[in-house]
Amino acid sequence: MRLLTGHARLAGVLGWPVSHSRSPRLHGYWLETLGIDGAYLPLPVHPEHFASAVQALADLGFRGANVTIPHKQAAFDACDAVDASALRAGAVNTLVFRDGRIEGSNTDGFGFLESVREQAPGWSAADGPAVLLGAGGAARAVAAALLDAGCPRVTLVNRSVARAEALARDLGGAIDVAAEAPLGGAALLVNTTSLGMQGQPPLAIDLAPLAASSVVADIVYVPLETPLLAAARAHGLRAVDGLGMLLHQARPGFEAWFGVAPRVDAALRATVATDIPKTAA
């Protein structure tokens, strides 16, 4: 059993609730396999106590923390400095405490791009237009990452057109809004909604217009194989599940807190996916 010393590096995940988070298992696996003197803890914090909790963690010598629902905007406001990824995403999911300062970034877009590159080898954001379903925080991070990585055009499709238009205005650049998904000519389709998640209705969309070279990605990872991904594979398309985004977005924070660049591999995926249903019930 790995034992901590007085020099142990500490980090964790702030959320309300936080019991559902798989981040402790994810980071715990890296700490164990890399033999690092450190710990990563679940930190349930009520929204009204968030700012004081972050300051307390910094004062206690924590190296930083991940931030999950509903604290990502509050985390942005709590930072002394935020990087370009956080500014583009409008939210913070990774905090680093350094020299008495609270620094914030958003690694969701990085995690998404790395996941697609891993699961669809040879893919590039510059391959062609992308269609994003949804206009929430995840859509914003993914859209910003795609545009910054050279995607020629991103189209947002959302039930609330006004919300999608507001997001498009905020991000700027080659981004459009459409009432129906323009799949003809799209190189990438991304579901950033909760449709297809366990307990939610499946996402109903006809994938026939997509070219054989297109990639279909779903940020939902419960179940691992959503109905959308199953349909994509049935059409012979490359499918990218949401678990990869979760795994890869954790890498920058872990390296900042514990001083080692971790790897995402099959053993990590199997460990984190232990209790995740493989297909929809």
* Chain Cα centroid distance, residue 136: 12
| Closest to 251 (Cα-Cα) out of 93, 39, 43 | 93
Query: With contact defined as beta carbons under 8 Å apart, do 40 and 23 qualify?
Result: yes
Is 72 annotated in the active site? yes
Catalytic residue among 9, 22, 63, 72: 72
- What is the layout of strands, in order, in the sheet containing 188-191? 175-177, 154-157, 130-133, 188-191, 215-218, 238-240
Q: Which two tokens stand for residue 166?
A: 């507001």
Long-range contacts of 41-46 (CB under 8 A, 24+ apart): 41/10, 41/11, 41/12, 41/13, 42/12, 42/13, 42/15, 42/18, 43/12, 43/13, 43/14, 43/15, 43/18, 44/15, 44/16, 44/17, 44/18, 44/19, 45/14, 45/15, 45/16, 45/18, 45/71, 46/16
Per 3-state DSSP, the chain is made up of helix, strand and coil in percentages (nearest 5) of 40, 20, 45
**Element holding 188 (H helix, E strand):** strand 188-191
Find how far residue 89's CA is from the centre of its chain: 11
Distance (Å, whole) CA 113 – CA 106: 13
Chain-centroid distance of CA 90 in Å reads 14
What amino acid positions are annotated as catalytic residues?
72
